[in-house]
Every structure is written in structure tokens, then in C-alpha cells.
Structure 1
Amino acid sequence: METKTANIKREATATSLILNLDTPLEIILTEDNPNSVKAIFNNLIKELKKGPLKFKLQDEKKDDMYFHICDEYIKQLNSEMETVYNELEDYELLEIKEE
């Protein structure tokens, strides 16, 4: 299983969780946009078809509210991705690379 990193981007106007893939995915934590989250999850499903992956949060500020929110978010996301990967495998929807 491949482990990717996730980081918190803190700005004056918004705080985001960045999922570091080939093309980083940004979840803006300070706005309510379910369609954006759906689009990100669809991108994650495409990545899961290539193989199992999980995220590990890397952040220096381990004592602020956003760290704790993102840490829990990553735990839930990893659990969901494992379930989705297993379902993709069960339904033979994985992209198998020929060597």
C-alpha cells in the first residue's frame, strides 16, 4: 500500500487540507461545498483503481484545532478508501498494469 502525504494550508481567508497526489487535491475546510468534496472523492477513486493508498498527515502545528480536525478526517478517509478499494477489487474494476 502506498502512503501519500497530506498537509494543512493555513491562510487568512481559508484553511485547506491538501492531499498530495501527482495533482494535489485541496479540501477547503472553512467552506461548505459538498460538490467539491464529491469531485475530490471521485478523483481518489480513480487513484484507487491503480492500487491501494492511504494518507499520512504531516503538519508542524500539532496543537491547533485544524490539526485535530484534519487528523480525524484523514483517519476516516483512509478507512473509506480501504473499503472502496476492496469493493473495486471484488467487482474487478482495478486497472491492472501488465509487466
Structure 2
Amino acid sequence: MATHNATIERKENSATLKLALGTEELNIILTEDNPNEVKSVFNKLLIHLKNGEIDFNLTDEKEDLYFHICKEYITQLNAELKSTFTELSDNGLLNTAE
């Protein structure tokens, strides 16, 4: 299983959860309601998941409301990624090196 970093970027009027996957960075803007952007992030995660099990570890130096929200978000995301990986494996949908 590959563990990747998740961080929070805080700006004056916004906050973003950043999921690092190698050279790719997926962003979930916490201060906007944009379901299509969230779907896009999950679709990209699904593509990465087909190559192997992944999870995220939140690293942040500030324990504020965003930290607690993101910590719970990452906990639930990791559980979903594990469950989805198992389903992909059970259904023979993983990318395998031959």
C-alpha cells in the first residue's frame, strides 16, 4: 500500500485540501460547493487505485476547524479507498503488470 500526503492550504477567503499523488496534486476546495470538482477528484483517485492500494496521511501544523474537518474526511476517504480497492480486485478490474 502506498501512503500519500494530504495538506491543507489556507488563504484569506478559502481553504483547500490537497492530495499529493506522486507528481499529481488533487485539490478539494473546502470553502466552495462544487460537486462536479469533487467527482473529478474521485474519478482520478479511482484511476490511481486501479494501479494499487493507496491511502492518505494528513500533515498539518495548525489544529483549527479545517484540520478537524480534513482529518475526518481523510479517515472516511481511506476507508472508502480500501473498500473500493477490494471491490476492484474481487471483480478483476485492477491494472496488472504482465
Question: TM-score scaled to structure 2, two decimals?
Answer: 0.96
1:43 aligns with 2:44: yes
How far does the alpha carbon of each residue in 1:26-77 deviate from its partner, in whole angstroms, 9 at most, with x for none?
0000000111101100000000000000000000002x00000000000000
Per the alignment, residue 17 of structure 2 pairs with 17
Q: Distance in 2 between matches of 1:97 and 1:13?
A: 45
Aligned to 2:35: 34
The 5 Å alignment of 1:59-78 reads: 59-62=60-63, 64-78=64-78
Residue 14 (structure 1) shift: 1.0
1:80 aligns with 2:80: yes
Amino acid at match of 1:35: N
Structure 2 gap ranges (5+): none
CA RMSD of aligned residues (A): 0.7
Q: Which runs of 5+ in 1 are unaligned?
A: none
Instruction: Give the secondary-structure state (helix, strand or coil) at the position aligned to 1:7.
Output: strand
Length-normalised TM-score, structure 1: 0.95
What amino acid does structure 1 have at the position aligned with 2:37?
S
CA distance in 2, matches of 1:14, 1:61: 15
SS class of match (2:83): helix
Number of aligned positions between the proteins = 97
Please identify runs of 4+ aligned residues in structure 1 that moved more than 4 A: none
> Identity rate of aligned residues, in percent?
52
The structure with the largest strand share of the pair is 2
